[in-house]
Amino acid sequence: MSQPRYDVVAIGNAIVDILAKADDAFIAANGMTKGAMQLVFSPEEADALYAKMGPGTEVSGGSAANTIAGMAALGSSCGFIGQVADDQLGAVFAHDIRAAGIRFDTPARAGQPTTGRCLIFVSPDGQRTMNTFLGASHFLPAEALDRDLIADSSYLYLEGYLWDPEEPRAAMRAAIDVARAAGRKVAFTLSAEFVIDRHRAAFHELIDGGLIDVLFANDAEIMSLTENSDREAAIASLQDKVPLLVVTLGPDGAMAIAGGERTTCAAEAVTEVIDTTGAGDLFAAGFLHGQVTGKSLADSLRLGAICAAECIGHIGPRPLADLKALAADKLG
């Protein structure tokens, strides 16, 4: 097996986040569930909700793209595969990810729909309520995969959010085959309970088929996947099916289970919770960076917690602080 040139290549939604502050009354009045993510199925609906937003901040987003941005900031060599449209937001996304030093070569798609966007309302307590119009990212074809890039990366990282539409789901299945044929590892994040509800059988098929090397989930997601309301029982039913199971527990920290051995870490202290958007994505960035650089599970978990805490301390899902310096200061 040849030595890969890249640490991680990710496949995910290529979207631009638009964040604005909103109180709980606004969220309830507009039929949203606080702290949840719901899909917006038409550009007209997205435009109508956007018109109600207060002053907003535009930042490139997408779960896997956020993770890759965090890894690049830590020093990992990364690539990203995702579909944008040939429009202004598509150009913003492409500029931002390339400016972070990430290889991004997926051709922009002509015509409708537009580049995906996520309208995020940030509550005074830092909770984020997301309304996602996936747009062009729904139409990532298998033909757009850079198979050489996938085969030349130590890890293929996939986000569950993109499993929902048929075309990119087929692309991700093809990408798994490429990674497996090249002897690379596959990491998968479950993303959200609504995705699990729609694709539970398919996710179990991936896991039972031995196609997932690293599975990321939060406690609610792992209970949803296993349809078990007891967290420990849910973990026990999965831990022997994947080589590495990583479960985040919010303010209670995180755990990683490999070979039946459990390693835990506490959450990093945060002076003030400003915005939780992207916290799980940045946790995955720190953890995977730790793994590709040969760190122990304990140090990888701690690095994930450090990155998540940095993200929570400001508006937006991408790191603002120097993550390399932050990691060096806290990990030594």
Q: pLDDT tens digits, residue range 62-118?
A: 999 999 999 999 999 999 999 999 999 999 999 999 999 999 999 999 988 999 999
- Rounded to the nearest angstrom, the gap between the alpha carbon of residue 118 and the centroid of all alpha carbons in its chain is 14
- Closest by alpha carbon to 123, among 50, 27, 52? 27
pLDDT in tens, 185-235: 999 999 989 899 999 999 999 999 999 999 999 999 999 999 999 999 999
- Tell me how far apart the alpha carbons of residues 175 and 246 are, in angstroms, rounded to a whole number: 22
| Selection from 233, 182, 194, 239 nearest residue 214 by Cα | 239
Cβ-based neighbours of 131, under 8 Å, separated by 6 or more: 32, 37, 38, 39, 40, 46, 49, 118, 119, 120, 121
pLDDT over 70 at 1, yes or no: no
Contact 168, 142 (CB under 8 A): no
Distance CA 191, CA 163 (A): 10
Residues 4-55: pLDDT tens digits?
Answer: 999 999 999 999 988 899 999 999 999 999 988 888 888 889 889 989 998 8
Q: What is the mean pLDDT of the chain?
A: 92
- Collapsing DSSP states into helix, strand and coil, what is residue 256? strand
Looking at the chain, the whole-number percentage of residues with pLDDT higher than 90 is 71
Place of tokens 């307590």: 125
**pTM of this structure:** 0.90
Domains of the chain: 6-13+62-111+138-331 (3.40.1190.20)
